[in-house]
């Protein structure tokens, strides 16, 4: 499955453009979820959301629609017992998020933290594989330092995906370390109606198909060679 989505849905400049003129703000999620197949919930990064909110979001979207929750974690630290701590709010949000079919979780780690293999391994061990019997997926977007050393091996060992970020501010790492890929396409230009030029969109569509088929796009660099695996899900925002 390849899903194309957006990061959030409450944006005032979209009213009268992406959202029809006069559409009630309360119906914007309903409208957006019929135009895309996935949305990243950014609010969970900044604070806890009420279970009632998740239930409302579930009711407003199609049954096969997928939300991704953006979470926050404290930096791994030896002083914190070797692995840092995972914010309890993240776990609460994921449990509540099960009500909105949250199958992919984007967990952003501090980009400036120097990579320490033991600390990072202990941190990954804190990530739950399931909540209330429901499988949970995790993805991590980190800075250059954290992508060195044994990070690829550790993330593959725990089936945590490395977020592939197309941005001048982040390294683009195309290694597949889980059974899904999470893509963040952040080179959109306001002067281009579609954000990316048509040729670039075709390139990314081709890359998404290659990932979904179990391979790696030939034009993207990886930290290490990857053997061809089973088909994967791909989500992009």
Beta-bridge mates of residue 235: 3, 182
Per-residue confidence (pLDDT) for residue 102, from 0 to 100: 43
Local structure of 129: helix, strand or coil: coil
What fold does the segment set 2-236 form as a domain? Answer: TIM Barrel (3.20.20)
HSE value, Cβ hemisphere, 13 Å, CA-based, for 89? 15
- Main-chain dihedrals φ then ψ at residue 21, nearest 5 degrees: -60, 130
CA-angle at 179, arms to 177 and 182, nearest 5°: 75
Per-residue confidence (pLDDT) for residue 191, from 0 to 100: 92
Per-residue confidence (pLDDT) for residue 74, from 0 to 100: 55
Question: How many Å apart are CA 150 and CA 157, to the nearest integer?
Answer: 11
Per-residue confidence (pLDDT) for residue 148, from 0 to 100: 55
Q: How far is CA 84 from CA 69, 71, 75, 96, in A?
A: 20, 15, 6, 23
Question: How many Å apart are CA 97 and CA 50, to the nearest integer?
Answer: 10
Collect all residues with Cβ–Cβ distance below 8 Å to 81 and sequence separation of at least 6: 122
Per-residue confidence (pLDDT) for residue 73, from 0 to 100: 62
Per-residue confidence (pLDDT) for residue 107, from 0 to 100: 52
Instruction: Please choose, from the candidates 166, 164, 169, the residue with its C-alpha nearest in 3D space to the C-alpha of residue 112.
Output: 169
Per-residue confidence (pLDDT) for residue 114, from 0 to 100: 60
Per-residue confidence (pLDDT) for residue 98, from 0 to 100: 45
**What is the full per-residue pLDDT of the chain (237 aa) written as tens digits?**
899 999 899 999 999 999 999 999 999 999 999 999 999 888 777 777 788 888 888 889 998 888 888 876 654 554 444 444 555 545 555 554 444 444 444 455 545 456 677 777 777 887 778 777 777 888 887 655 445 556 777 888 888 888 888 988 877 888 888 888 899 999 999 899 889 999 999 999 999 999 999 998 989 988 777 666 788 888 888
Per-residue confidence (pLDDT) for residue 77, from 0 to 100: 52
Rg of the Cα trace of the chain?
Answer: 18
């Amino acid at each position: 499955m390849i899903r194309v989505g957006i990061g959030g849905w409450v944006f005032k400049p979209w009213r009268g453009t992406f959202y029809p003129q006069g559409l009630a703000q309360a119906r914007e999620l309903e409208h957006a979820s019929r135009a895309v197949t996935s949305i990243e919930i950014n609010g969970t990064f900044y604070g806890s959301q009420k279970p009632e909110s998740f239930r409302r979001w579930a009711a407003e979207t199609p049954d096969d629609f997928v939300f991704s929750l953006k979470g926050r974690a404290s930096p791994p630290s030896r002083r914190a017992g070797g692995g840092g701590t995972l914010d309890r709010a993240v776990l609460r949000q994921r449990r509540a998020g099960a009500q909105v079919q949250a199958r992919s979780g984007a967990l952003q780690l501090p980009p400036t933290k120097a990579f320490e293999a033991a600390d990072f391994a202990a941190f990954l061990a804190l990530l739950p594989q399931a909540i209330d019997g429901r499988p949970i997926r995790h993805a991590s977007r980190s800075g250059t330092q954290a992508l060195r050393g044994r990070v690829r091996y550790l993330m593959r060992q725990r089936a945590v995906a490395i977020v592939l970020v197309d941005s001048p501010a982040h390294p683009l790492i195309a290694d597949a370390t889980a059974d899904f890929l999470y893509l963040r396409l952040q080179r959109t230009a306001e002067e281009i109606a579609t954000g990316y030029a048509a040729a670039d969109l075709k390139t990314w569509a081709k890359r998404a198909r290659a990932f979904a088929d179990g391979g790696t796009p030939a034009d993207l660099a990886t930290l290490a060679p990857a053997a061809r695996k089973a088909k994967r899900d791909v989500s992009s925002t």
